[in-house]
Homo-oligomer: A and B are copies of this chain.
């Protein structure tokens, strides 16, 4: 996982300067972390059905490449959002809190869908 002296294990964490913000403000680190592709989706899937295997999670995420999945799980693990249990991958208590907030996005998305159908696009 961590090849020694890997400068690129640049997981966005609070207190660290992250890409797009040198201040290290927690919200910036979070927005950066969640801005990585598949990250939001992985948290979402783990919230829906906890405990999948690596390959199982891969399938749930519509066949995300294993290289990226491993990378994301490492980031989320380092951030204390996901951990690996004997029964598979799962959200930590912190991760569950975060997932709860994401649930609100789900409700928003449903209303969004309704409005977009009413408004003919382009």
Using a CB–CB distance below 8 Å, which chain A residues touch chain B? 2, 4, 9, 13-15, 20-22, 26-32, 34-41, 44, 61-62, 64, 78-80, 94, 97-98, 101, 104-106, 108-113, 115-117, 119, 121-122
Contacts and interface: CB of A to CB of B under 8 A. Distances in A.
* Centre residue among A9, A30, A36, A78 by max chain B CB count within 10 A: A30
A65 to B, nearest CB: 11
Number of identical protomers: 2
A38 B40 contact: no
Nearest to A22: B62
- By secondary structure, the A interface counts as helix
Contacts of A121: 13, 78
